[in-house]
Chain A
Amino acid sequence: MSKIEQAKQNKKSKKRNRFIFRTSILIVLFGALLFAVVSNLTAEEDAVVEVGDQAPDFQLEQIATDDSSTIQLSDLRGKGVMLNFWGTWCKPCEKEMPYMEQLYPEYKEKGVEILAVNLDSTKLPVQNFVDQYNLTFPILYDEHTEVLDTYGIKPIPTTYFIDENGIVVERVLGGLTVEKLQGYLDQIVPEGS
């Protein structure tokens, strides 16, 4: 009798051990699979700052509109920030700049700042460009393309819309129409203003 009991007991523990063994191996293997898939989907945009990310802080000198100061992104916490990467030679950039200028005063009132990070290799064309379109928002000069590298910018224009907590709400690759621009700017107007 006890022998049979013993055998049953043995079988039971064997079964349980097998279950634990198989479960743990499967968990490890599927964990690796999940890691591979998830990191693959994010690897493409490895260095790229995406929607939902905290916008990396940076500090750049202003040129053209105000030659005297530097601007640090984190100093604008509490405001919405439209961060636009552009160059004077880029047609779609040139097309959207007047829209930005048109909407700038209105949204500055509402607590949204526009920063245009320029990627030209020299400053003179930027000055000419700013004079031509009478731009008044800050133009930041990314001389060593460090901010470009940090944000992983490939095509220009690329525009980030950052809320008052420094979180990226939207990322737009390519040019913007005035309606779209207005829609995105509305999204980053700080609460309570």
Chain B
Amino acid sequence: MNTLKCTTCGHVNNEGTTICEKCGKPLDNDQNGKLLNMRYDGTAIRSKTRNRSIVDKIWNFFSSVKVGVTLIAITLVASALGTIYPQQMYIPQNVDPAVHYEDQYGITGQIYYQLGFHNLYGSWWYLILVALIGISIFIVSIDRGVPLFKALKNQAIKRHLHFLKRQKYFVENTDVSEQDRTAFIQNLKKHRYKITEKNGHLLAEKGRFSRWGPYVNHLGLIIFLIGTLFRFVPFMYVDDFVWVREGETAVIPGTNQQYYIKNEEFIFETYGESDEDDIFQAALDRTNGPIPKHFETRATLYENVSTDVVGSEPELKEVKSGEIIVNEPMKINGLGLYQDSYQMNEFQTMTFKLHRADDEEEEAIVEFTVDLTDPQREYTFDNGYTIELNKYYPEYELNNGQPRSVSNYPRNPGFVFFVKGPDIEEQEASFLAIGQNIPSGDNQYKLGLADFTVRDVSGLNVKKDLTLPILGVGAFIFMIGVIQGMYWQHRRIWIHPDDNSLYVACHTNKNWFGFTREFEKMINETNLKMIEDQETKEKE
């Protein structure tokens, strides 16, 4: 049914066994035909046994190397297809991807988008593919690794003659002197072979651990995949961004309002400012515009210790302060704030002066400063004048003849001022913006920009990745597995005495040539014959 009885020694083997576990006789009844397939040392692969239940069927599906290779091939093809058009993160921020791909690339772009190729690594089907590869690796390792381990651990020392005759490397020596035999064994020991003996039958073996290379490598891969899974756990992985203005405090995204960052000062240096940059003068003369040399954010990190509801005034406790420079992040609990980008010279305050329109000297009657971070409605003075800031547009543009602001920040401020004074009947209005000063009519008074201050905005990348150590460990174990399998070979030599012959058969899992070189050294100064390659003999 599902056992195989060895005709020579009577040992009962599991179905699927190709070489008797006990005496090593080949069980395929092909007595002197082809060379033996030594994969898994002839043991029955677990999944090759009879399968009835659905669990067995699923198990066998995943334990197939063919299935694993197919999954990897599909994933490779999908990854390749994903490079045809740009991924979603590289298309403009302000477009709808659903429209963009079709617009840019036509019908193929639409298909690309529909199938989720625009966000390949986040698409559910790609993820499932990778996970299935992981499952396949895991199951195949158990399915094949365990029987192989057992087979090599309990391997028979004394092997049936048919077994030896059907190895790739085989030789029959006749009339071997005891001296040669011991010299040969000595040489084996010198070459670090472990020798076990049973009734004059010898097994010399070395490098068995290299057989575990693929399994160690798979273990590393599995750990690596588990690490990538943890990316989806919010406290393990954060990748976000925050703009923070000089003098302002912003909540750090991805921290559930626990941490705040204050931009104390943004420092920006360009080449050509100091004497040591003189050597670059020639190069600098060829460029138009300054070349950034160094920029950093002096920042203070706060923790919100208030337990009140979101939106109520946070209670900030200073945690640390210092510089954030490119490649030198500020870190807190595995969360890193990296200097990413900047916006220079955003207006912060503007100072205006009021003078008579007919005064050539433009002597100031009053002077006042509008704080653009918190503009006040009215500016009153002891001498009876009042300026009302009626309208304020942080980034002003004309839109169908009407001024409006296109953003939230004072990059190009526009103002409507009402001037009231002791000798003004109603009020006088004027519109001011950079390079513009438009009176509403025949005004006696005129406002002019006297001064302004600017500040910089620093863009910080918020990153947290606690999965890296897991990925590192996985990759390290992976490499150990690769080295184990690559640089060592598992070599075995069976020595079978019979009447007055001494049969020698060898097997190695790779580098047969290297093995013959070693064997030559081991029969040196003995009369033993060199092993013959039966595979090439077969072909002849």
Contact = CB atoms under 8 A, between A and B. Distances in A.
A88 interface: yes
Contact of A40 (B122, B139, B311): B122
B502 to A, nearest CB: 40
Interface in A1-42: 18-19, 22-23, 25-26, 29-30, 32-33, 35-37, 39-41
B281 interface: no
A29 B408 contact: no
Contacts of A88: 405
B128 A125 contact: no
> Which has the most chain B C-beta neighbours within 10 Å: A44, A57, A125?
A125
Interface stretch (B16-24, B53-61, B282-290, B482-490): B53-61
Interface stretch (A100-108, A141-149, A164-172, A178-186): A141-149
Nearest to B409: A121
- The secondary-structure label for the interface of chain A is helix
B310 A47 contact: no
Given A89-B408, A144-B249, A144-B314, A46 B55 contact: no
Nearest to B126: A40
Contacts of B309: 57-59, 72, 74
A81 interface: no
B127 A37 contact: yes
Given A46-B234, A145-B250, A36 B131 contact: yes
A52 interface: no
Contacts of A59: 308-312
Q: How large is the interface on B (under 10, 10 to 19, 20 to 34, 35 or more residues)?
A: 35 or more
B267 interface: no
A31 B257 CA distance: 32
B538 interface: no
Nearest to B130: A36
Contacts of A120: 408
Interface in A53-91: 56-60, 70, 72, 74, 87-89
Interface residues of A, number: 48
B342 interface: no
A26 B229 contact: no
A111 to B, nearest CB: 23
Given A47-B254, A57-B310, A37 B128 contact: yes
B124 to A, nearest CB: 5
Contacts of A193: none
A177 interface: no
B310 A128 contact: no
B468 interface: no
Nearest to B249: A144
B135 A40 contact: no
A99 to B, nearest CB: 19
Contact of B131 (A32, A57, A60, A127): A32
Interface string A135-164: 000001010111101100000000000000
A35 B229 contact: yes
Contacts of B260: 144
Contacts of A44: 122
Interface in B274-315: 308-312, 314
A22 B59 contact: yes
Given A19-B53, A37-B131, A60-B311, A26 B58 contact: yes
A147 B46 CA distance: 57
A144 B251 contact: yes
B84 interface: no
B311 A149 contact: no
Given A19-B55, A57-B309, A89-B405, A124 B377 contact: yes
Contacts of B224: none
B38 interface: no
Contacts of B311: 58-60, 140, 142, 146-147
B390 to A, nearest CB: 8
A123 interface: yes
A120 to B, nearest CB: 6
Nearest to A145: B251
A146 B142 CA distance: 50
B233 interface: yes
Contact of A146 (B124, B138, B251): B251
18 contacts: A19-B56, A29-B134, A29-B139, A32-B134, A37-B128, A44-B122, A47-B234, A58-B309, A60-B311, A70-B312, A89-B395, A89-B407, A121-B394, A122-B372, A124-B375, A145-B250, A146-B311, A149-B251
8 A-B pairs closest in CB distance: A39-B232, A58-B311, A58-B310, A33-B131, A60-B311, A89-B405, A29-B135, A59-B309
Interface of A: 18-19, 22-23, 25-26, 29-30, 32-33, 35-37, 39-41, 43-44, 46-47, 56-60, 70, 72, 74, 87-89, 119-125, 127-128, 140, 142, 144-147, 149-150
Given A18-B46, A87-B408, A121-B394, 7 more contacts: A26-B58, A56-B310, A59-B312, A60-B311, A123-B374, A127-B377, A149-B251
